[in-house]
A and B are shown apart, each in its own frame.
Chain A
């Protein structure tokens, strides 16, 4: 049986907590963790180092809690979803009735671009719903602005406070949240190279030239070739010609934008969730596994046609 606020529910119980002090964080996080330990539920803390230290001190040690550094878990939204799902599946197979996770999802002021992570916060409502997961996502109101705060409230159906738990009236359909995001701007400036209707091999060669120019590390070059090839293949196979590729070589980074004349994927979470055996979507998913910063841009003139994906591949600093 599930325990705590999520007791009578099934699937993912996605909750946020807004705080403005260390004590405010601990007032929510510590009872959450203690409750999990008392019930014998797998309990995972995926907080930033500072917040994890606060919780560990308050608990008086690890006490059987799994501590995972947020920087390791939240490298890329699509990877975080995949690895969490694998972990949840194995814990359920071992007999867990509920899994508790408290995590610092990256956001402005705490190590991440919101454009990518707001899609994550919306998508997990769907992606984790196959598992009895109680996910708690605390946000520090000293760091986040009103616009991010509004998105946090729109993507979490539940709110925890020091006084208890309540349903969140501001929660919105996650599909709609993603659909109505304003289109992100494409990269600035003239591209270093532009290709019209290239083959994936042409795109790999252009990407390779840019990678050498940018001084990318070998591992990142592999990532770039992989992303260029998969995105162009995806555009040719599932989009519509003409397919365009623009490449910007910068110091220690390459930005790649692949566009086509099609309407883009119908699924607003395309790229974030493993498409399994579905036709299409694998190329986008692969690119999302590799890139921390990858954005979908509708590029049409209101007629629903035109779709571009831009991806940044940068040396690790």
Chain B
């Protein structure tokens, strides 16, 4: 299929989104989690997507909390259009997430949904139990990036919900989503093609840690990075980006910079004395899709 435009920026809960959108949302109460999931799933069902709710509770409890916020979801469950599952039914919490296995599972589900006449799958998943253990976060960040590339061409539209009362230090994971909550509005590193990353927003020294982790998690299968929407970076962030581009070039898996490089980015590059050839899109053959 031809990839549809994906929405980026701050998520409006309840807003209408497309079949390939990917969001992250931090909730501060169980009720907020259920309300956000219900709105996301109801939107998908209206657009002809099959829906799936995955969270840490029994399925009856999860079904009930959705119905409290959107009574029509009860009918969708009865009709088989909305599937409710406990986290442990879908994810193995015993080992770090395995991206290939997980992706194969989702791809199967997408293909089955299409065969059943749906326009792909809409998912609301509480990732809190998946990333509560800091030891699982690196693998999860890589999984998010790989899944996000898949979504650029296949109709899978998940919202990843996380409990802000329990989790700190998962900024890099949230910033791997093209749609994010307002606390993570500043920047994002996500997929804009099967083998292309986009970097959007403003990055400065105070985002250095999540930015470094996000850059490091860009799939090795990516061939280009579009920085058209990178509106600001400070000297520190410019140095981090240049270092990552250099490391990949030396490792034989260069990321070609594509799109428009803003004047401010070039100026920062010059002032920092960074290698200008890293910004040349023709330096290596990139994904031009």
A interface residues, Cβ below 8 angstroms from B: 199-201, 204, 218-219, 222-223, 225-226, 229-230, 233, 237, 282-283, 286, 289-290
Contacts and interface: CB of A to CB of B under 8 A. Distances in A.
A226 B234 contact: yes
Contact of A201 (B204, B263, B268, B271): B204
Contacts of B271: 226, 286, 289-290
A219 B263 contact: yes
A54 B264 CA distance: 40
Contacts of B205: 200, 233, 237
B202 interface: yes
A188 to B, nearest CB: 30
A221 to B, nearest CB: 9
B45 interface: no
Nearest to A204: B232
Contacts of A290: 271
Contact of B263 (A222, A229, A237): A222
10 contacts: A201-B186, A204-B232, A222-B267, A225-B264, A226-B267, A229-B234, A237-B205, A283-B235, A286-B235, A290-B271
A54 B242 CA distance: 47
Interface residues of B, number: 15
A237 B235 CA distance: 14
A286 B204 CA distance: 14
Contacts of A199: 206
A219 B263 CA distance: 8
A200 B234 contact: yes
A248 B206 CA distance: 26
Given A201-B204, A229-B204, A237-B205, A222 B264 contact: yes
Contacts of B232: 204, 225, 229
B264 A226 contact: yes
B56 to A, nearest CB: 34
A233 B264 contact: no
Interface in B164-208: 186, 202, 204-206
Nearest to A225: B232
A282 B263 contact: no
A229 B202 CA distance: 11
B235 A200 contact: no
A204 B202 contact: yes
A223 B271 CA distance: 11
Contacts of B264: 222, 225-226
Q: Is the interface of A mostly helix, strand, loop or mixed?
A: helix
Contacts of A283: 235
Given A286-B235, A286-B271, A200 B263 contact: no
B188 to A, nearest CB: 15
Contacts of B235: 230, 282-283, 286
Contacts of A237: 205
B267 A200 contact: no
Given A200-B234, A204-B232, A218-B263, A226 B202 contact: no
Contact of B234 (A218, A222, A223, A230): A230
A282 B271 CA distance: 11
B204 A233 contact: yes
A229 B264 CA distance: 13
B264 to A, nearest CB: 4
A233 B233 CA distance: 13
A6 B272 CA distance: 34
Given A225-B264, A226-B267, A286-B271, A201 B202 contact: yes
A282 B274 CA distance: 14
Interface string B223-252: 000000000101110000000000000000
Nearest to A200: B204
A223 B236 CA distance: 16
Contacts of B272: 286
Contacts of A282: 235
B141 to A, nearest CB: 23
A215 B9 CA distance: 28
Given A201-B206, A233-B206, 11 more contacts: A200-B204, A200-B205, A200-B206, A204-B202, A225-B264, A226-B268, A230-B234, A230-B235, A233-B204, A286-B272, A289-B271
A282 B235 CA distance: 8
Nearest to B263: A222
A289 B204 CA distance: 19
A286 B235 CA distance: 8
Contacts of B202: 201, 204
Contacts of A219: 263
A230 B232 CA distance: 12
Nearest to B273: A274
B123 to A, nearest CB: 32
Nearest to A223: B267
B109 to A, nearest CB: 39
B67 to A, nearest CB: 41
Contacts of B234: 200, 226, 229-230, 233
Nearest to A290: B271
Nearest to B266: A222
Q: Which of B186, B206, B234, B236 has the most CB of A within 10 A?
A: B234
Nearest to B185: A201
B171 to A, nearest CB: 14
